[in-house]
Amino acid sequence: MTPQEYVEEVLQLVESIPEGRVMSYGAVADALAEASGRNSARQVGTIMARHGGGVPWHRVVTSSGRMPPGHEQEARQRLLSEGVPLKGDHVDMARARWLPGGGTDGRPGL
């Protein structure tokens, strides 16, 4: 698994995130750990910073629901437009968190 292939995997997963849902960097890293062998939230963040253009990067936030520095306003706008549950200036991770392969919405209970 070359670094660029890992990047492709990350981008692919990010694109698979449905509207109104988000994933944390750690979740992305964890989900791709199976397909890539590595896992680290920082890695995913760095990859998004470099290659995040072209995918709905705003659907990827920190575990606290914070948005990438320098794009807070941008991300907030997009998330709001897509119906992502926001909690003031950050994403309501309790509701917006999404996991791949969870079916159509992946939301357990609630």
Closer of 13 and 44 to DNA (Cβ): 44
Residue type at 86? L
Determine, following the binding rule CB under 7 A, whether residue 69 of this chain makes contact with DNA: yes
Residue 78 CA to residue 75 CA, distance in Å, equals 5
Among 11, 22, 32, 68, binds DNA (CB under 7 A): 68
SS (H, E, C) 27-87: HHHHHHHHHHCCCCHHHHHHHHHHHCCCCCHHHEECCCCCCCCCCHHHHHHHHHHHCCCEE
Which stretch of DSSP H or E encloses residue 26? helix 25-36
- Smallest gap from Cβ 33 to DNA, in A, equals 10
Determine, following the binding rule CB under 7 A, whether residue 38 of this chain makes contact with DNA: yes
User: Is 58 in contact with 18 (CB distance < 8 Å)?
Assistant: no
Closer of 50 and 103 to DNA (Cβ): 50
- Smallest gap from Cβ 78 to DNA, in A, equals 11
Determine, following the binding rule CB under 7 A, whether residue 71 of this chain makes contact with DNA: yes
Interface positions with DNA (CB under 7 A) = 3, 6, 24-27, 38, 40-46, 48-49, 52-53, 57-58, 60, 62-64, 66-69, 71, 75
